[in-house]
Chain A
Amino acid sequence: EDQVTQSPEALRLQEGESSSLNCSYTVSGLRGLFWYRQDPGKGPEFLFTLYSAGEEKEKERLKATLTKKESFLHITAPKPEDSATYLCAVSDNNNDMRFGAGTRLTVKP
């Protein structure tokens, strides 16, 4: 069965303090690994799709990387508006999308 584990559960950073979020996964036939941002009471907002080990994607202060067993979301010089829950998900050959529980990020000014 596909599994996605995110760590840490919660992360508190000072504004400008760079860090990384981890997503470990096991999946039979990876079709894609996804990162989403979710603000309280709202639907997840799409950030990145990664398809194969070694792939990297960037958007503003965020950079996502992928290996055969895990993905990292690097946050460089975060701002308070980056505070949110970051969700990782994997899709397999059965069209099943499995999400992790998320990392709740708080960035203090």
Chain B
Amino acid sequence: ETGVTQSPTHLIKTRGQQVTLRCSSQSGHNTVSWYQQALGQGPQFIFQYYREEENGRGNFPPRFSGLQFPNYSSELNVNALELDDSALYLCASSGVRRETQYFGPGTRLLVL
């Protein structure tokens, strides 16, 4: 059984650019959630996808968008990057007990 994987591990972008982060869920899991974690803070919920539909969203602007594919992998897209978007972006997947989530290693994004 493979765990949650994320790519890339690190990324550097400049302000105003767009970025796509990718996540492969744990085998057998059909729900994917995305989080933003600033240094020294707990993760903040961005949104959740269940069977390719958005199933909940946190307090993030529309320039944060996502997709879930038929194989339950997922993408997080961020448009018009701002300096404050620099953070660790975490993906988590869950299965039958959707509230229990298993996290990937994260993608560290730096916006200059």
Contacts and interface: CB of A to CB of B under 8 A. Distances in A.
Given A32-B100, A49-B100, A43 B90 contact: yes
A58 interface: no
Interface of A: 4, 31-32, 34, 36, 41-46, 49, 87, 89, 91, 94-102
Given A43-B90, A44-B90, A96 B100 contact: no
Interface residues of B, number: 27
A44 B100 CA distance: 12
B104 A43 contact: yes
Nearest to B9: A41
A45 B101 CA distance: 9
B95 interface: no
B106 interface: yes
Contacts of B33: 97
B101 A46 contact: yes
